[in-house]
Chains A and B, each alone.
Chain A
């Protein structure tokens, strides 16, 4: 068989290098998209959780209570309780702090509170490398800490310097190396003190050294500070200094992590959650999962489009080599040998395509990495670095995907080739299996539709996201498979119209579409796929964006928004403000009310939800604007112990009006009565809205993340914003935005999310255009005799050119029309199936007519443009050759 491949396949591919290249490119682009998305997903997977909680990586287990924090004393308690398997319990504080002297409005950096004494004492002075896990025999988490002291704290001079700092009210602090350099540049000579703002309070810090966590990639940018856990708690939890963010647990060598976790769970009870590193990360992945799913679907769709185009090229190759197949069969080739020949060819081309797709994917990933990093850093969590993860398994996946796709695409052409009757093929007798093929085609469509629907319907019984993912891909394939039939139908419907105004060229083009729906249908399918993706995505964005805008307009109606540490579009950098700032805001004559809002992350049924605490008493009774506030509509919210939940929260956790929900409080569970279910698009995992006064009482947290400032009628919001910035911007690291700015920043955020999606579809579009060129070329080759005959009976070159171009334009038009229909289906699928499943949000379906018109125009023009080359080729045919029999 190998000898046969070597002789036949190599010879054929050598004779048609363009075709072979096209298959290889289609596969390579598909594989590249898949590889890039898998690599980016891998990076998000590994880096995002570490960036959210870098310190968790230093522990075997983490005791935490989301943003509420846990009592610091618990660490000591656990240590004293001598729980079997627990070697060490270290309290840790994580938070953000602003350094006002850096950048224009100050720089928001990480602040880590560690057990200072443990890390600073009893070790060699100049350079220490705390290989904690080496000591504890746990090689799995081998991270260390490298500290470079300016003055050795174990020596008398160093220690006395720290004592002196403290007497002067300065907090000793270590900085990441790059941050230390920047601080040194900004500070007056020899000065090691600088200011920091946390919870609206300004503190003086004294730089005593630099610190580096060599194994924590998330901190590679060095943009962080480390101080003693007690000092950090004072800055991050000013009203509950006894709290820390988490307790890092290290287990004894040889101890079973799950067993130790269970013992700790039994010990801490309702007070906190005990997480392994993986489960800690899982909660974060739950949030980034939607983005990953989108990437995966995009990658898979690129491969599906590639598959269709490869199928097209191979089908034509089979049709062209029908006579050769007949010869082979007449000299004794079995059906299996013929099928294996085509499958083998496809496998080799798939292999080459995969090999090419791997570096292309890496390049694509590398190009996308920076925008992705920017997006994640601003919207989700500040990330120092994001490196591409090239897992060995990815190579396997890429090869499998490329070879698998090529072979899958070759399956039907190979079976067609194998089913050739030798006598008919040798004598070039036309096929007589149209009805059989049509029935087979319809049966395949039905099968695919049923399989897709089954995946969606049974998604609850399948692994999470698997049903929706498989359903999306299978139904997408089904919709593409329908297209050849739809093309024929459309050709018959539109044919008479085209004939009436487009002359002979249009007539021939329309006839050709009806006559060869299989060949042209595949290209129309590919065009429709791209149009559908672009249109579906635009429709999805339009629907979600418009709905969120309406909600913001209607429900978040403040005139100015004030944040600290970062602007609204850099939500991850913001940090809480002191509640007394309201008095300052109200001192401005144009300010009517300032509503404090606190966003508090909570663990709820293994997911991270938002508790949104807001001032329900900000407006005086009788104020006309209260009619728009939730506090007015739900007056009993003020009584405490009651909550409103967002629609998506109710959908995700099956919560109904009047139900009671239990959330973890500061010192144990808290029960809340659900008094309303409202439209709220704050958080994709669900939002609980409560009274801020009640929140302060039960969580001991009076800080505010955003001030919603309402102005008196006639006041100029821009002027007020400028005044806020002028008065307190620099001093308190404040950012203020008008409602228009907020809308714009949200739009920017949404656009940035989808920019990545558009990048993927650009690749798919590229694959499609390649397909259109090849299909038109093949069309010209197949119609060689017909075009030659046209020329023989007197058609001009222009008429031949017109026919081919008209066919291309018609293909573009049909592709766009069908893409519109499939795009509506994609919009429905994402809005009605994926989104509710992922987020519980239910958006209305809106149709963006403007992008639809653009897609239509583009499809027709691009198809005609890429048709130019094959059309020109058609005009150069030598008539005598074209009409010759052999």
Chain B
């Protein structure tokens, strides 16, 4: 469903160009839960941005259902993000001036849906993450776990085909982290919806079907965590040695 082919990403922010991703190829199947793990600055978030059309590769191709995302116009990319992708960020990224329901309804507002209908749909999404009772609250009135659940509700409100999560538990305590990870784990639908989660937490990473290791912008290895449809012990995952794999 999602594919990166020999992608590189170079940032020219200072005097020296920063090579965030250096020729990574990766395929994510529909219904799969993929964790991407690596140390800070390894390029894992950039990889996720490329998958979600938040950014475009410097070279190589990012494909979604076979379509090269780089061939899309800016408007088409916006529409793609709105309808096909749901994002969950580390710092929740909720708009502070909106209520929980309004934050969830944001993609629907952007889609031009009438306010009443959008809020109704947002309510349904909030109910799904167990936060129906917090619909009228502003982000500042909620705990970190609740805010992240609102973010998940927003990501799901338009029933996207992929949910991309950038360190979704990075700002949460262990109880809230478990709750969010279980929620995310319930999202993949066989043949339809995939989840990609960037994390540097091995325990969080263990929730995935596959674990992709990234180091210095290179693909350092992939662990298959699902064996015959059963999950491996998620408490004993260790990062794979970088030398064991080469970027493809």
Enumerate chain B residues within 8 angstroms of A330, measured Cβ to Cβ. 52, 54, 81, 87, 93
Is B58 part of the binding interface, using a Cβ–Cβ cutoff of 8 Å? no
Enumerate chain A residues within 8 angstroms of B109, measured Cβ to Cβ. 3-4, 7
Is B178 part of the binding interface, using a Cβ–Cβ cutoff of 8 Å? no
Enumerate chain A residues within 8 angstroms of B118, measured Cβ to Cβ. 3
Known: A3-B118, A334-B79. A328 touches B106 (CB 8 A): yes
Q: Which residue of A lies closest to B91 (CB)?
A: A886
Q: B interface vs A, CB < 8 Å?
A: 11-13, 45-46, 49, 52, 54-55, 74-75, 78-83, 87, 89, 91, 93-98, 102, 105-107, 109-115, 118, 154
Q: Which of B13, B79, B105, B112 contacts A430 (CB 8 A)?
A: B13
Q: Which of A373-425 contact B (CB under 8 A)?
A: 421-424
Is A331 part of the binding interface, using a Cβ–Cβ cutoff of 8 Å? yes
CB-based contact B75/A334 at 8 Å:
yes
Enumerate chain B residues within 8 angstroms of A323, measured Cβ to Cβ. 93
Q: Which residue of A lies closest to B101 (CB)?
A: A7
Q: How far is the CA of A552 from the CA of B97 in the complex (A)?
A: 68
Over the window 42-76 of chain A, the binary record of Cβ atoms lying under 8 Å from chain B Cβ atoms (1 yes, 0 no) is 00000000000000000000000000000000000
CB-based contact A7/B13 at 8 Å:
no
CB-based contact A4/B110 at 8 Å:
yes
Q: Which of A15, A333, A423 contacts B55 (CB 8 A)?
A: A423
CB-based contact A426/B93 at 8 Å:
yes
Q: Which of A6, A335, A337, A422 contacts B110 (CB 8 A)?
A: A337
CB-based contact B87/A427 at 8 Å:
no
Is A14 part of the binding interface, using a Cβ–Cβ cutoff of 8 Å? yes
- 18 A-B pairs within 8 Å (CB atoms) are namely A3-B109, A3-B115, A4-B110, A7-B97, A8-B97, A15-B96, A15-B97, A327-B94, A327-B106, A332-B79, A332-B80, A332-B82, A333-B78, A334-B74, A334-B78, A422-B81, A423-B55, A886-B91
CB-based contact B107/A332 at 8 Å:
yes
Q: Which residue of A lies closest to B106 (CB)?
A: A331
Enumerate chain B residues within 8 angstroms of A324, measured Cβ to Cβ. 95
Enumerate chain A residues within 8 angstroms of B74, measured Cβ to Cβ. 334-335
CB-based contact B83/A423 at 8 Å:
no
Q: How far is the CB of B119 from chain A (nearest CB, A)?
A: 9
Q: How far is the CA of A336 from the CA of B110 in the complex (A)?
A: 11
CB-based contact B107/A327 at 8 Å:
no
Q: Which residue of A lies closest to B119 (CB)?
A: A3
Q: Which of B93, B95, B112 contacts A8 (CB 8 A)?
A: B95
Q: Which of B45, B75, B91, B110 contacts A331 (CB 8 A)?
A: B110
Q: How far is the CB of A553 from chain B (nearest CB, A)?
A: 68
CB-based contact B95/A327 at 8 Å:
yes
CB-based contact B107/A331 at 8 Å:
yes
Enumerate chain B residues within 8 angstroms of A589, measured Cβ to Cβ. none
Q: How far is the CB of A852 from chain B (nearest CB, A)?
A: 45
Over the window 421-465 of chain A, the binary record of Cβ atoms lying under 8 Å from chain B Cβ atoms (1 yes, 0 no) is 111101101101000000000000000000000000000000000
Enumerate chain A residues within 8 angstroms of B46, measured Cβ to Cβ. 423
CB-based contact B55/A329 at 8 Å:
no
Enumerate chain B residues within 8 angstroms of A4, measured Cβ to Cβ. 106, 109-110
Q: How far is the CA of A329 from the CA of B111 in the complex (A)?
A: 12
Q: How far is the CB of A20 from chain B (nearest CB, A)?
A: 13
Q: How far is the CA of A336 from the CA of B112 in the complex (A)?
A: 13
Known: A331-B87, A333-B78, A335-B78. A7 touches B93 (CB 8 A): no
Is A884 part of the binding interface, using a Cβ–Cβ cutoff of 8 Å? no
CB-based contact B110/A333 at 8 Å:
yes
Q: How far is the CA of A421 from the CA of B78 in the complex (A)?
A: 11
Q: How far is the CA of A12 from the CA of B105 in the complex (A)?
A: 17
Is A635 part of the binding interface, using a Cβ–Cβ cutoff of 8 Å? no
Is A1 part of the binding interface, using a Cβ–Cβ cutoff of 8 Å? yes
Q: How far is the CA of A327 from the CA of B54 in the complex (A)?
A: 10
* Residue from the set A328, A336, A886 with the largest chain B CB neighbour count within 10 Å: A328
Enumerate chain A residues within 8 angstroms of B75, measured Cβ to Cβ. 334-336
CB-based contact B115/A6 at 8 Å:
yes
Q: How far is the CA of A330 from the CA of B89 in the complex (A)?
A: 10
Enumerate chain B residues within 8 angstroms of A329, measured Cβ to Cβ. 54, 78, 81
Q: Which residue of B lies closest to A1 (CB)?
A: B112
Enumerate chain A residues within 8 angstroms of B95, measured Cβ to Cβ. 8, 11, 324, 327-328
Over the window 1-44 of chain A, the binary record of Cβ atoms lying under 8 Å from chain B Cβ atoms (1 yes, 0 no) is 11110111001101100000000000000000000000000000
Q: How far is the CA of A334 from the CA of B45 in the complex (A)?
A: 22
Q: How far is the CA of A562 from the CA of B185 in the complex (A)?
A: 103
Enumerate chain A residues within 8 angstroms of B81, measured Cβ to Cβ. 329-332, 422
* Residue from the set A14, A329, A423 with the largest chain B CB neighbour count within 10 Å: A423
Enumerate chain B residues within 8 angstroms of A2, measured Cβ to Cβ. 115
Q: How far is the CB of B98 from chain A (nearest CB, A)?
A: 6
17 further A-B contacts with Cβ under 8 Å, apart from A332-B80, A421-B55, are A3-B105, A7-B106, A8-B95, A11-B97, A15-B96, A327-B95, A330-B52, A330-B81, A330-B93, A331-B106, A333-B82, A334-B74, A336-B75, A337-B110, A423-B46, A426-B89, A886-B91
Q: How far is the CA of A25 from the CA of B60 in the complex (A)?
A: 52
Q: How far is the CB of A321 from chain B (nearest CB, A)?
A: 9
Enumerate chain B residues within 8 angstroms of A335, measured Cβ to Cβ. 74-75, 78
CB-based contact A12/B97 at 8 Å:
yes
Enumerate chain B residues within 8 angstroms of A8, measured Cβ to Cβ. 95, 97-98
Enumerate chain A residues within 8 angstroms of B12, measured Cβ to Cβ. 432
Q: How far is the CA of A738 from the CA of B11 in the complex (A)?
A: 81
Q: Which of A318-353 contact B (CB under 8 A)?
A: 323-324, 326-337
Q: How far is the CA of A423 from the CA of B13 in the complex (A)?
A: 14
Q: How far is the CA of A15 from the CA of B52 in the complex (A)?
A: 31
Enumerate chain B residues within 8 angstroms of A422, measured Cβ to Cβ. 54-55, 81
Q: How far is the CA of A1 from the CA of B111 in the complex (A)?
A: 8
Enumerate chain A residues within 8 angstroms of B89, measured Cβ to Cβ. 426
Enumerate chain B residues within 8 angstroms of A430, measured Cβ to Cβ. 13
Enumerate chain B residues within 8 angstroms of A432, measured Cβ to Cβ. 12-13
Enumerate chain A residues within 8 angstroms of B111, measured Cβ to Cβ. 332
* Residue from the set B46, B52, B87, B94 with the largest chain A CB neighbour count within 10 Å: B87
Q: Which residue of B lies closest to A333 (CB)?
A: B110
Enumerate chain A residues within 8 angstroms of B55, measured Cβ to Cβ. 421-424
Enumerate chain B residues within 8 angstroms of A6, measured Cβ to Cβ. 115
Q: Which of A14, A332, A334 contacts B97 (CB 8 A)?
A: A14
Enumerate chain A residues within 8 angstroms of B49, measured Cβ to Cβ. 423
Q: Which residue of A lies closest to B102 (CB)?
A: A7
Enumerate chain A residues within 8 angstroms of B87, measured Cβ to Cβ. 330-331
Enumerate chain B residues within 8 angstroms of A12, measured Cβ to Cβ. 97
Q: Which residue of B lies closest to A336 (CB)?
A: B75
Q: How far is the CA of A424 from the CA of B46 in the complex (A)?
A: 10
Enumerate chain A residues within 8 angstroms of B102, measured Cβ to Cβ. 7, 11
Q: What 8 A-B pairs are tightest by C-beta distance, nearest first?
A: A332-B82, A11-B97, A3-B115, A423-B55, A423-B54, A334-B78, A4-B109, A423-B49
Q: How far is the CB of A777 from chain B (nearest CB, A)?
A: 19
Q: How far is the CA of A430 from the CA of B75 in the complex (A)?
A: 24
Enumerate chain B residues within 8 angstroms of A334, measured Cβ to Cβ. 74-75, 78-79, 110
Q: How far is the CA of A324 from the CA of B75 in the complex (A)?
A: 19
Q: How far is the CA of A1 from the CA of B108 in the complex (A)?
A: 10
Enumerate chain B residues within 8 angstroms of A333, measured Cβ to Cβ. 78, 82, 110
* Residue from the set A1, A8, A14 with the largest chain B CB neighbour count within 10 Å: A8
CB-based contact A3/B107 at 8 Å:
no
Q: Which of B45, B96, B110, B113 contacts A328 (CB 8 A)?
A: B110
Enumerate chain B residues within 8 angstroms of A429, measured Cβ to Cβ. 11, 13
Enumerate chain B residues within 8 angstroms of A332, measured Cβ to Cβ. 78-83, 107, 110-111
Q: How far is the CA of A336 from the CA of B115 in the complex (A)?
A: 20
Enumerate chain A residues within 8 angstroms of B54, measured Cβ to Cβ. 329-330, 422-423, 426
Q: Which residue of A lies closest to B114 (CB)?
A: A3
Q: How far is the CA of A333 from the CA of B81 in the complex (A)?
A: 8
Q: How far is the CA of A322 from the CA of B99 in the complex (A)?
A: 19
Q: How far is the CA of A529 from the CA of B91 in the complex (A)?
A: 43
* Residue from the set A1, A8, A327 with the largest chain B CB neighbour count within 10 Å: A327
Q: How far is the CA of A1 from the CA of B107 in the complex (A)?
A: 11
Q: Which of A867-886 contact B (CB under 8 A)?
A: 886
Q: Which residue of A lies closest to B73 (CB)?
A: A334
